Amino acid sequence: MSKQTLPMFPAGEGCCAPMAREPLGEDDAAELARMFKALSDPVRLRLLSLIASHEGGEACVCDLTGPFDVSQPTISHHLKVLREAGLVGSERRGTWVYYWAVPAALNRLSGLLQAPVRASVPARSGA
Amino acid sequence: MSKQTLPMFPAGEGCCAPMAREPLGEDDAAELARMFKALSDPVRLRLLSLIASHEGGEACVCDLTGPFDVSQPTISHHLKVLREAGLVGSERRGTWVYYWAVPAALNRLSGLLQAPVRASVPARSGA
DNA sequence: CTCTTGTATCGACACCTGTCGATACAAGGC
DNA sequence: GCCTTGTATCGACAGGTGTCGATACAAGAG
């Protein structure tokens, strides 16, 4: 049962073993790559940070189109990509649609990237 | 390039504020997106985990071509992408070229993705 | 109902990416 | 010197991605 069973985790505690501990399997790598791909665009990264840092933890699309130079359909497209990657959730409430970040997904990626302390390999840093 | 002054950080402590704390600036988003893009491919993700989890913290390219179904030039290409993103370093030692993960880069991304504990937003209803 | 505003989808385009085989370069053994 | 092995680069190709304008859908106001 190495799959995650908890819906949410305390911040700072990843759900999964850091990738530095053991090599990723093909399936895990494929799924994680899809999530990272959603983060691989500057607009999406800013959208996600805008949503996650918005008061109340969620933001209306109307709050998200202003800060960018791209068109409204493009914003909508990027939000869809983030949603399909499982990084944000969304819900229509009356006229507006609200988006929020999914902490479990972010913490999963965060935990995966945590590098271990390697006291035994000091000189390798940098170039 | 080097906005950060510290070359390395203790594992588990990101160098930057989580993106959920404040919106990313355009420049930061562009740089981070480049790093995430390097992680957005299953082969590269497995390569990185293979390198990071390898004994001694580094791996020869000869250790990396075996586990994959893709050709040697493709592996070389992916390693170059990881290196140009600052996620791994490399060095030729004699006949072989060795790669290692860059902990500072991984921890930077890890810290960025840490979701805060939002006790005030438990389910989608209250808000 | 019609009109207006907020959001999503569609179709098209230029550009980027992952992959390969062929080939070049690097280093050591002979 | 030449040959072998390890790694990188090149050139080309199919497929994917970000962007737009046009348009469709959703919901409230009048």
The full set of domain ranges for chain A reads: 26-113
Does residue A33 approach strand C to less than 7 Å at its CB?
A: no
Q: What is the pLDDT of residue B82?
A: 96
Cβ–Cβ < 8 Å for B109, B35: yes
Distance CA A80 to C1' C8 in A = 9
On whether the A26-113 domain is CATH 1.10.10.10, my answer is: yes
Write out pLDDT tens, residues B35-73.
999 999 999 999 999 999 988 889 999 999 988 999 999
Distance (Å, whole) CA B109 – CA B111? 5
CA-nearest of B56, B44, B55, B54 to B87 is B44
Whose structure tokens read 């030039």? B73
Q: What's the Rg (C-alpha) of chain B?
A: 17
Cross-chain residue pair B107–A114, CB shorter than 8 Å: yes
Q: In tens digits, what is the pLDDT along chain A, a chain of 127 residues? A: 333 333 344 444 445 678 877 788 888 899 999 999 999 999 999 999 999 998 888 999 999 998 899 999 999 999 999 999 999 999 999 999 999 999 999 999 999 998 766 544 444 443 3
Cβ–Cβ < 8 Å for B60, B96: yes
Within 8 A by CB and 6+ apart from A73, the residues are none
Cross-chain residue pair B37–A40, CB shorter than 8 Å: yes
Tokens encoding B50: 């293979």
Which architecture characterizes domain B42-113 according to CATH?
Orthogonal Bundle (1.10)
Q: Which residues of B touch A57 (CB under 8 A)?
A: 118, 120-121, 127
Smallest Cβ–Cβ distance between A91 and the set B8, B56, B124 belongs to B124
Window 42-61 of chain A: CB closer than 7 A to strand C: 60-61
Cross-chain residue pair B19–A117, CB shorter than 8 Å: no
Tokens encoding A104: 């479990």
Q: What is the pLDDT of residue A37?
A: 97
Distance (Å, whole) CA A49 – CA B9? 23
Cross-chain residue pair A117–B10, CB shorter than 8 Å: yes
Cα–Cα distance list, A109 to A16, A39, B17, B60, B127 (Å): 8, 11, 16, 26, 25
- Across the A:B interface, residue pairs with CB atoms under 8 Å apart total 181
> What is the distance in angstroms between the Cα of B76 and the nearest Cα belonging to chain A?
18
Q: Reduced to 3 states, what is the DSSP secondary structure of residue B58?
A: strand
Q: What is the pLDDT of residue A26?
A: 84
